[in-house]
Amino acid sequence: MQERHKDRKRYFEEQVYTTEKYVIPFVAEVMPVTKNISVLEIGCGEGGNMKPFLDLGCKVIGIDLNTKQIENAKAYFADHPNQENLELILRDIYEMKPDELGEFDLIIMRDVIEHIHNQEKFMAYVKQFLKPKGIFFLGFPPWQMPFGGHQQIAKHKYLSKLPFYHLLPMSIYNSILKAAGEGDKVRNELLEIKETGISIERFRRILKVENYTVNKEVMYLFNPNYDIKFGLQPREQFGLFKAIPYFRNFATTCCFYLISR
């Protein structure tokens, strides 16, 4: 699993595949996805999620704090025929305002919200970048799911494949990572994710407090991204199980949301 995360071009192509095959059709059920829409991706990384929109001719802006990933994105898109429709920004979204960044028909965040501190503050802030009839797509793994701690990035061959141990108390979790020889960089990243991981219930509460409307919600037993990663077709969570608060987080590997102001 560690090798997959090191191969950034492979990761980019996996994002392209999943967004093209699953995210765009999901969004299209609520809003037509045509070349006439403007798209903002927050936490864009190398931009794999943006490419299918750029392929369609959409105006696309990606913003991220990671210098290396923005550099990779510029290299990956250097020869794209619609490159003039793409802007890549290396900045903190909190430093931006609508008069500088703009307002968008569609904002996308895939596997990002679970890395953000103070998600309440973030969801309140980002609302200003949506057009009045704009749509916000978010996809994320609930914290309690088997690999909700992103422990697949661990370098230890067993810890990277061990489910659920990220749910242990912080001190015990940290001790296990130390004992396994995880370096400070990976260990600090895993501990930070433990602080920021989000559940379905907490995400719903944030949406309610910030007056978002849920246009579409799907909980997946098999994450759509598992298609390209493992050859598993996406499967929605069972109706009865997804209705049980808290427990559904343990077996829901991904949630897709479309929300609006």
203-241 pLDDT, tens digit each: 999 999 999 999 999 999 999 999 999 999 999 999 888
pTM summary value: 0.94
Q: Check pLDDT > 60 for residue 3.
A: no
Residues whose CB falls within 8 Å of the CB of residue 93, separated by 6 or more in sequence, listed in order:
42, 63, 125, 126
pLDDT digits (tens, 9 = 90+) for 102-141: 999 999 999 999 999 999 999 999 999 999 999 999 999 9
What is the b/e burial string over 124-154, where b = at least 16 CB atoms within 10 angstroms of the residue's CB? eebbebbbeebbbbbbbbbbbbbbbbbbebb
pLDDT at position 241 is 87
Domains with residue ranges and CATH for the chain = 2-144+198-260 (3.40.50.150), 151-196 (no CATH)
Measure the CA–CA gap between 210 and 193, rounded to whole angstroms: 23
Residue among 24, 196, 224, 212 at smallest CA distance from 134: 212
Measure the CA–CA gap between 134 and 260, rounded to whole angstroms: 6
pLDDT digits (tens, 9 = 90+) for 131-188: 999 999 999 999 999 999 999 999 999 999 999 999 999 999 999 999 999 999 999 9
The total of other beta-carbon atoms located within 10 Å of residue 54's CB is 21
Q: What is the mean pLDDT of residues 32-41?
A: 97
Q: Check pLDDT > 60 for residue 1.
A: no
Contact in structure between 260 and 212 (CB atoms under 8 Å): yes
